Amino acid sequence: MNFLDHWALSGAIFLPVIGAVLLGLVPRRSELTLKVGALLASLASLALVIYLIARFDFSHSGRFQFVANKQWIEVIHSRYHIGLDGISLPLLALSALITVLCVIYSWDHFPEPFNPKAFLILILVLATGMNGTFGSLDLILFFVFFELVLLPMYFMIGVWGGPNRQYAAIKFFLFTLFGSALMILSFLALYFKGGQTFDMIALRHTIAAASLPAATASLIFAGLFIGFAIKVPMFPFHTWLPDAHTEAPTVGSVILAAILLKLGTYGFVRIAIPILPKAAHTWAPWIGLLAVIGIIYGALGCLAQRDMKRLIAFSSVAHMGFVMLGIATLTSFGINAAVFGMVAHGLITGMLFFVAGSVQERYGTRELSRLGGMLLQAPRLGWILGFCAMASLGLPGLAGFWGEFPAILSAYQPAAGLSLVTFRVYMAVAAVGTVFAAGYLLWMLQRVDFGVVKSEFEHAHIHDLHVPEYLAWAPLLILIVALGVYPHLLFHITDGAVHAVTTGIHAATGVAAGR
Amino acid sequence: MLLAAVHSAIQQQAFHVPNLDYHALAPEIVVSATLVVVLVADLFLAGARKWLLSNVAGWGLLVALIFTVELGARSHHASMVGGAYVVDDFALVFKGLFLAVGYIVLLMATRYIEEGDYFEGEFYFLLLCSLLGMVVMGSARDLITIFVALETLSIPAYMLAGWRKRDLKSNEAALKYYLLGVLASAVMLYGMSLVFGFTNSTLLTDIGKATQGSITKAPLVTLGIFFITVGFAFKVSAVPFHFWAPDTYEGSPTPVTAFLSVASKTGGFVALLELIYIGFIGRSDVWGPMFWVLAALTMTVGNLIALRQTNIVRLLAYSSIAQAGYILVPFAVAGSNTKSIHSAFTASVTYLLIYAAMNLGAFAIVIAVARKTRSGDIASYGGLYEYAPGLTVLMTIFLFSLAGVPPLAGAWAKIFVFRAVLDSPGSCGWIQCPTGTARPSACPPRCRPPSASPSWSSSSSASTPSSSPTSVMSHR
């Protein structure tokens, strides 16, 4: 391994926060320096991620690569252990990309009360938290990064948010912290049951070797489940999401939707399921149930919304339902679909929130009943909204399709030992959910894009796309098409890694069946 | 110290000069010398030059701190007067902490006292006296030494609490603190006398041996341990013995409040650590359940009441009550075996060190802000970011740390506590407690939500003990 192979991942994780510290030294007035600095820091991190992709050994995507394993907190045997496999690499890339795009989008879109310095610093700290979560292979390290994300997002919502921001920010914070508290207890339980290690990979073997009583494993899984399910968010834990999304500034919503929600699903795929496969097997039907409830509930919720952002937020609940359904099948097909769904949802919903932010900025409102005829006033923005709506409803040929369709399909044949009937019912319900998705997205499109311009905006001057918007959105739009036309691009990265996970599940549940 | 010496002399039926290691006693000697200098110099200094005393006191503390660090760096350990006075790593860590906290409190107090038309010289003298008690407490390994140290640290603190002498609230603070403190001392002393009566020794190591041996189940020893624990529960303001704390904290001058809530409370905990882990380790059947109840109540009640506070100092007072609950949690699970004793001990010590830093920080900001706003209302912190961004960021860090949000230190403290709990076998009784601190986000300009962070804590009742009493102290 050469020097860069060794340090690129750490660099990708920590460059943003180093940038944030440096920005802290720049005076508040020199806005341009701040913006350029933030852009450079995020670009540097992205460049390293691209380097990692270039150097990644795709034929062994199930193996962890670019591993660094250094002593960190000796007393509790927690190590600085990072590495990438086929599951974390796409998500890391997504996170680094979205960070850059957010910095670009904010170029002259800083929300009230302005203060670019603090805002950019928060974005960069967020980036470190997100990248670090996807890179870490040690539970404590994971936990630290997972929580690091919380503070900047709390401030982003609480300071730059909409009128009801304080409520939303606290709700977001308390929900997530509640989940994390259970999560850390489960981590500690894993530590003590799994031979005093926090190493995610070692734990897979030591926990399997410890052959925990089913009740204990189930209880530990429950802690992890609540921690991650709140972040996803799954059905009964989703109530923080619409508020947080609606009140957050545009960039906050984008990061929240594109990356933060994935931290939860990633936690399932990386930690909960590989380490406790048997418990996952026991819980799978219930996870599946909550997932399909989420799909239908989210969709129905969308239909009742009057605020564009809130609608998109509820659609996130539905989409994450598909992701969780894929995960609940515990098959390599389903988990592949889930990882694809995470990336696709990140790209598409991120885009939708960008558009919603731009609409809000131009019209000063996101209320669907007041908008209309955007194609007449800002055709490009209107068509991009149409494109994203299509992608989001799962039109074949765009990225959204490859997240939803295989997830539904995988429910037809869940992992051995799971009830076929149950999952086929889930499949049917989820399929109905896609129809709802088409319903609410087209409804939104119709209300915003088509029809005539409402009288209050008839003489308003509505700008079409700005340069920063072009720059920020083009990569996302290109990726949505590229992944839609050629999904193999992503599937061939994830497949090996997912296979490594499912082999573990089969091994564990096979033993269970044999007993 | 003197009493301990006298005591050991009585035991040995003949007086001989105890063999003292003056090098190991250097921090105590320096602090004592400084306080004498401050007291005497106060007589001769004119009012306008009283500020010199603060400098003298500060330098004295720094020198003492340097000695402490030096002793620690060279691992200079000593055991004096028959094991009643011990200088080891445990003692040095806490001496260092007390001296550092004392120095910071001094820095916070100097301007406050100078501007407030209070007695200056006496303030520093009393502060140093109290600190001397704490420094001695770190080394005390004997009932009488512990008691003397406790009174040395408490009595000046009673007076400091009433330092704003024209303020009724301050008078109330001092009176409440004094009456309940004395009550606690009396209860504790009674407990100590019972324990002494049965074990025939005031040395903690002897008591440790005795309570593991023949007289283990004597009901009066049980009563003694109960009384001692209750006494210290007052000192560390554990629920339901916490009623004095919020009033005292609110009424005292704020630097004194910081001192009480950090240093004085830590002093109580140090004594508790010494007593429980050396003296009464064999009787976890008595104190295990007690601490279990105290910890659970303290965490829950402290946090819940904090939610309803409108005054920042009262809020921090309840928050520090809740934090004490967390420090008590490891005690509840310590009794099961050697390993869990070790991890419980580590957890309490870690928590104390981190707690001191973050709580002191929060109080420092409160003092700095109150100097401008002249108000303790949480509402008056609105828009703090507009005129004091630096303070806001720091306050944010301290409060989030108190709430236990990673990657700040407070989270590690809580992780250590959780680990201690999970490390004890039979940790079946997990109880849910709302944790954290009520947090007034004075921080972002338009955002000041008082909120609390929920999280889980677990405790379990202790089972059978089996450990040599002294192993814990040497372990760390």
Mean pLDDT computed over every residue of chain B: 81
The continuous run of DSSP H or E covering B87 comes out as strand B85-87
CB A83 within 8 A of CB A70: no
Q: What percentage of chain A exceeds 90 in pLDDT?
A: 44
Please classify residue B58 by burial: count the beta carbons closer than 10 Å to its beta carbon, then call 0-12 exposed, 13-18 middle and 19+ buried.
middle
> What residues of chain A lie within 8 A of the CB of B460, using their CB?
none
Please write the tens of the pLDDT for every residue from B409-439.
888 888 888 888 877 665 433 443 434 444 4
Is residue A266 pLDDT above 90, yes or no? yes
The continuous run of DSSP H or E covering B302 comes out as helix B284-306
Please classify residue B213 by burial: count the beta carbons closer than 10 Å to its beta carbon, then call 0-12 exposed, 13-18 middle and 19+ buried.
exposed
Q: Where along chain B do its domains lie? A: 1-161
CA distance B41 to A351: 72
- End-to-end CA, chain B: 25
Is residue B125 pLDDT above 60, yes or no? yes
Q: Annotate A59-76 with DSSP letters as a single string.
A: GGTTS-EEEEEEEEEGGG
CA distance B35 to B131: 10
Is residue B453 pLDDT above 60, yes or no? no
Is residue B72 pLDDT above 80, yes or no? yes
How many residues does this entry show for chain A?
515
Is residue B440 pLDDT above 50, yes or no? no
Q: What is the pLDDT of residue B360?
A: 92
Q: Specify the residue for token string 């045997």.
A: A77
pLDDT band at A107; cut points 50, 70, 90? confident
Q: What is the pLDDT of residue B6?
A: 57
Task: Kindly identify which residue of chain A lies nearest to residue B403, measuring between CA atoms.
Answer: A177
Residues of A contacting chain B (CB within 8 angstroms): 75-76, 113, 140, 143-144, 147-148, 150-151, 155, 158-159, 165-166, 169-170, 173-174, 177-178, 180-182, 184-185, 188-189, 191-192
CA distance B26 to B69: 11
Please write the tens of the pLDDT for every residue from A282-338.
899 999 999 999 999 999 999 888 899 999 999 999 999 999 999 999 998 899 999
ipTM score for this prediction: 0.73
CA distance A295 to A306: 19
Considering only CB atoms, B447 lies closest to which of A144, A151, A158, namely A158
Q: Annotate A212-281 with DSSP letters as a single string.
A: --HHHHHHHHHHHHHHHHHHTT-GGGTTHHHHHHHHS-HHHHHHIIIIIHHHHHHHIIIIIHHHSHHHHH
Is residue A443 pLDDT above 60, yes or no? yes
Mean pLDDT value across residues B150-167 = 89
Q: What is the pLDDT of residue B216?
A: 61
Q: What is the pLDDT of residue A368?
A: 87
Mean pLDDT value across residues B453-462 = 32
Task: Kindly identify which residue of chain A lies nearest to residue B397, measuring between CA atoms.
Answer: A151
Please write the tens of the pLDDT for every residue from B244-294.
888 899 888 889 999 999 999 999 999 999 888 888 887 878 888 888 888
Q: What is the pLDDT of residue B100?
A: 93
> What number of CA atoms fall less than 13 Å from residue B96's CA on the CB side?
18
Neighbours of B1 (CB within 10 A): 21
CA distance A277 to B76: 52
Report the b/e string of B345-366 with b at 16+ CB within 10 A.
bbbbbbbbbbbbbbbbbbbbbb
Choose the mutation target among B342, B451, B455, B475 for the interface with A, i.e. most A CBs under 10 Å: B455
Q: What is the pLDDT of residue B16?
A: 67
Q: In angstroms, how far is CA B275 from the centroid of its own chain? A: 14
CB A279 within 8 A of CB A217: yes
Neighbours of B52 (CB within 10 A): 15
Please write the tens of the pLDDT for every residue from A23-45.
988 888 888 899 999 999 999 99
How would you classify the pairing of strands A78-84 and B78-80?
Answer: unpaired
Q: Which three-class secondary structure state does DSSP give residue A83?
A: strand
Mean pLDDT value across residues A472-491 = 91
- Looking at residue A455, what DSSP letter applies? G
Please write the tens of the pLDDT for every residue from A78-88.
889 999 988 99
Choose the mutation target among A185, A191, A219, A243 for the interface with B, i.e. most B CBs under 10 Å: A185
Q: What is the pLDDT of residue B10?
A: 58
Report the b/e string of B304-330 with b at 16+ CB within 10 A.
ebbeebebbbbbbbbbbbbbbbbbbbb
Choose the mutation target among A166, A167, A171 for the interface with B, i.e. most B CBs under 10 Å: A166
Q: Specify the residue for token string 């994203």.
A: A388
Q: Annotate B57-78 with DSSP letters as a single string.
A: HHHHHHHHHHHHHHHHHTT--E
Distance from CA of A65 to the nearest CA of B (A): 26
> What residues of chain A lie within 8 A of the CB of B405, using their CB?
147, 150-151, 177
Please write the tens of the pLDDT for every residue from A196-222.
888 888 888 888 888 888 888 899 999
Q: Which residue has the higher pLDDT, A429 or B465?
A: A429
Q: Which residue has the higher pLDDT, A455 or B6?
A: A455
Q: What is the pLDDT of residue B468?
A: 32
> What residues of chain B lie within 8 A of the CB of A177, using their CB?
405, 436, 453-455
CB A258 within 8 A of CB A251: no
CB B326 within 8 A of CB B414: yes
Q: What percentage of chain A exceeds 70 in pLDDT?
A: 99
**A204, two tokens:** 């897979």
Q: What is the pLDDT of residue B448?
A: 36
Q: Which three-class secondary structure state does DSSP give residue B203?
A: strand
Mean pLDDT value across residues B54-58 = 90
Report the b/e string of A42-58 with b at 16+ CB within 10 A.
bbbbbbbbebbeeebee
Q: What is the pLDDT of residue A15?
A: 92
Q: What is the pLDDT of residue B438?
A: 40
